[in-house]
Amino acid sequence: MNKDIATPVRTRAILEKYGFSFKKSLGQNFLIDTNILRKIVEFADMSENTGAIEVGPGIGALTEQLARSSKKVVSFEIDQRLLPILNDTLADYKNVTIIHKDILEADVRAVMEEEFHEIDDIMVVANLPYYVTTPIIMKLLEEHLPIRGIVVMLQKEVADRISAKPGTKDYGSLSIAVQYYTKAETVMIVPKTVFVPQPNVDSAVIRLTVREKPAVIVKDEKFFFTVTKASFAQRRKTLLNNLTSQLPSGKEKKEEILQALEKSGIEPSRRGETLSLDEFGRLSDELYPYFH
């Protein structure tokens, strides 16, 4: 078995060998703690029949752990300078494919069909670059990809927002969007000291288990998200104020909005952060006829 990549000594040696310098714009922070990487892989609960999708492999620290625990790893890397390094560090793992592409621009479904055609169980496992965490997670969920779940390391503050419950300060449209598609739980807090370079904030590992069907069944998914976003536009404002100021021609439809709130059994004076997913589902269905 090879020496792990994710030790301070080996990471430093690899970076020196290639004269690699970190690009702040790409949010590059490499993990130098093998135990944490192994735990991340454990949370993904993979077997030799699992395919893993990774985003931003860096120098291959997590990739190597995934390659040891799964059937195949497909990794998206945007930074061309890392390709020769990955070629070298992962040379012994024949079950790894590196795709030089920004995952946000990639046709992930097509890649999955090509790379995982014999694999039914697919997990996304990654140490995500902080600056694009939310768009990446939302892309994977909104495209309804055939994945079992997502286990990712991200900024602790974003993890808190994703797994937040109604009535808490972290609960918002991001919590609802992710929890609509998945069961979300923060499974581990990771101190900033285990990265090079050290980020300014602590990280967390979050596990998202994709639901067989969404948390609430609504008439129109897109409109449901429009309503939830509008409800949190200004956190201090009441639902009625936010909906009238944020929904298209909401000001002219104040009466209709009041009616929809009444039919949903929701007080107009409540704030968005107090509503459960079910309540948002009822509300968006009652509002829907007035806005279509």
In a domain, 69, yes or no: yes
Range of the domain at 262: 221-291
Instruction: Determine the Cα–Cα distance for residues 83 and 277; give it in Å rounded to an integer.
Output: 43
Per the annotation, does 29 bind a ligand?
yes
Q: Which helix (H) or strand (E) segment is 75 a member of? A: strand 72-76
Per the annotation, does 66 bind a ligand?
no
Per the annotation, does 170 bind a ligand?
no
Cis before residue 197, ω within 30 degrees of 0?
Answer: yes
Q: Tell me, yes or no, whether 200 and 130 share the same domain.
A: yes
- Give every CB contact of residue 18 below 8 A, 6+ residues apart in sequence: 81, 84, 85
Q: Tell me, yes or no, whether 234 and 196 share the same domain.
A: no
Neighbours of 95 (CB within 10 A): 16
Task: Provide the domain count of the chain.
Answer: 2
pLDDT tens per residue across all 292 residues of the chain? 567 898 889 998 998 898 887 776 666 778 889 999 999 999 999 999 999 999 999 999 999 999 999 999 999 999 899 999 999 999 999 999 999 999 999 999 999 999 999 999 999 999 987 778 999 999 999 999 999 999 999 999 999 999 999 999 999 999 999 999 999 999 999 998 888 888 888 999 999 999 999 999 999 999 999 999 999 999 899 999 999 999 999 899 999 999 999 999 999 999 999 999 999 999 999 999 999 8
Per the annotation, does 56 bind a ligand?
yes
Instruction: Determine the Cα–Cα distance for residues 175 and 225; give it in Å rounded to an integer.
Output: 11
Boundary of a domain, candidates 182, 210, 238: 210
Strand partners, 98: 75
Per the annotation, does 120 bind a ligand?
no
Per the annotation, does 128 bind a ligand?
no
Joined together, the tokens standing for residue 245 give 């100021």
Boundary of a domain, candidates 210, 234, 257: 210
Instruction: Determine the Cα–Cα distance for residues 13 and 180; give it in Å rounded to an integer.
Output: 44
Q: What predicted TM-score, i.e. pTM, was given to this entire model?
A: 0.92
